[in-house]
Amino acid sequence: MISSRLRFESSRATEFVDLTNRLRDELQKSGLRNGRIHMQSLHTTVGLAINENEPLLLRDFQKLLERLAPGDAGYEHDDFARRYEIAADESVNGHAHCRQLLLTGFATLLVEDGQLVLGRWQSVFAVELDGPRPRELAIQLDGEFAEVEREATKQAQLVELEITRQLMVDPDAVALPMRRLMEAGGKRLRPRLLQLTSLIGPRYDPLLAASLAAAVELLHSATLVHDDYVDESTHRRGRPTVAAAEGAERAIAVGDYYFAKATRMIAEIGPTAVTSTMAEALEAICASQIDDVAMRGAFPGDRSSYVRIVKGKTAALFAAACASGALLSDSPPEVVAALKRYGELLGIAFQMADDVVDFSPSSGKPVGLDIRQRVLSLPLIYAAEDREVGAEVRSLLQGSLGDREVDRVVKLVTSSDALRRVGDEARGLVEDALRELEAVELNGLRSTFVSIARSAVDRTA
Amino acid sequence: MSVQIVEAELDRLEDLWSNGLAETYRSYVDALSDHDPALQPKLALAASLIEVGLRLQGLGGRAAPPPTLLMGDLCLARGSRLLTEAASKPVQVAFARAIEGLSAAAASGKPSAPVRELLLHAFTATE
Pairing of strands A115-116, A2-9: unpaired
Range name among A78-82, A95-99, A192-196 with the lowest pLDDT average: A78-82
CB-based contact A170 B104, cutoff 8 Å: yes
pLDDT digit string, tens, across residues A214-253:
999 999 999 999 999 999 888 888 789 999 999 999 999 9
What is the pTM for the complete model shown? 0.79
Give B69 to chain A, closest Cα distance, Å: 8
Give the closest of B59, B74, B104 to A287, CB-based. Answer: B74
Give pLDDT, residue A147: 67
Q: How many CB pairs under 8 A join A and B?
A: 128
Give the closest of A173, A287, A290 to B107, CB-based. Answer: A173
**More confidently predicted of A381 and A460:** A381
CB-based contact B67 A293, cutoff 8 Å: yes
- For residues A358 and A182, what is the distance between their CA atoms, to the nearest angstrom? 21
CA quadruple A73, A79, A85, A90: dihedral sign? positive
- Residue ranges per structural domain of chain A: 1-145, 148-385+397-461
**More confidently predicted of B16 and A147:** B16
CB-based contacts of B58, cutoff 8 Å, min separation 6: A249, A252, B64, B68, B69, B72
Segment A48-66 mean pLDDT: 95
* pLDDT at residue A457 greater than cutoff 80: yes
Residue of B70, B75, B99 to mutate, testing the A interface (most A Cβ within 10 Å of its Cβ):
B70
* Residue in A closest to B71 by C-alpha: A290
Residue of B73, B74, B102 to mutate, testing the A interface (most A Cβ within 10 Å of its Cβ):
B73
Q: Sorting pLDDT into bands at 50, 70 and 90, what band is A30? A: confident
* pLDDT at residue B71 greater than cutoff 60: yes
Segment A51-55 mean pLDDT: 93
Q: Which CATH class is domain A148-385+397-461?
A: mainly alpha
- For residues A159 and A165, what is the distance between their CA atoms, to the nearest angstrom? 10
Residues of B with CB under 8 A from a CB of A: 11-12, 54, 57-64, 66-67, 69-71, 73-74, 76-78, 80-81, 83-85, 89, 92-93, 95-100, 102-104, 106-108
Q: Residues for chain A: how many in total?
A: 461
In chain A, which residues have their Cβ closer than 8 Å to the Cβ of B71? 290
pLDDT digit string, tens, across residues A153-198:
788 899 999 999 999 999 999 999 999 999 988 889 999 999 999 9
CB-based contact A254 B107, cutoff 8 Å: yes
In chain A, which residues have their Cβ closer than 8 Å to the Cβ of B11? 287
Give pLDDT, residue A432: 97
Residue of A167, A263, A274 to mutate, testing the B interface (most B Cβ within 10 Å of its Cβ):
A263
- Residue ranges per structural domain of chain B: 2-122
Give B96 to chain A, closest Cα distance, Å: 5
Give B113 to chain A, closest Cα distance, Å: 16
Is the CB of residue A383 less than 8 Å from the CB of residue A389? yes
When the pLDDT of each residue in chain A is averaged and rounded to a whole number, the result is 92
Give pLDDT, residue A91: 86
Domain made up of A1-145: CATH architecture? Sandwich (2.60)
DSSP codes joined into one string, B32-83: TTTS-TTTHHHHHHHHHHHHHHHHHHTTTSSPPPHHHHHHHHHHHHHHHHHH
Give pLDDT, residue A186: 86
Counting residues of chain A whose pLDDT is more than 70, the rounded percentage is 98
* pLDDT at residue A364 greater than cutoff 70: no
Is the CB of residue B79 less than 8 Å from the CB of residue B50? yes
Give pLDDT, residue A372: 85
Describe the crossing of helices B89-107 and B40-57 by its angle, rounded to 10 degrees. 10
Counting residues of chain A whose pLDDT is more than 90, the rounded percentage is 72
Q: Sorting pLDDT into bands at 50, 70 and 90, what band is A149? A: low
Is the CB of residue B64 less than 8 Å from the CB of residue B100? no
Element (H, E) at A343: helix A333-357
* pLDDT at residue A350 greater than cutoff 80: yes
CB-based contact B96 A263, cutoff 8 Å: yes
Among A11-25, A323-337, A400-414, top mean pLDDT goes to A323-337
In chain A, which residues have their Cβ closer than 8 Å to the Cβ of B59? 252-253, 256
CB-based contact B74 A230, cutoff 8 Å: no
Give pLDDT, residue A81: 86
Range name among A102-116, A161-175, A248-262 with the lowest pLDDT average: A102-116
Give B124 to chain A, closest Cα distance, Å: 16
ipTM over 0.95: yes
* Residue in B closest to A283 by C-alpha: B77
pLDDT digit string, tens, across residues B43-57:
999 999 999 999 999
* pLDDT at residue B7 greater than cutoff 90: no
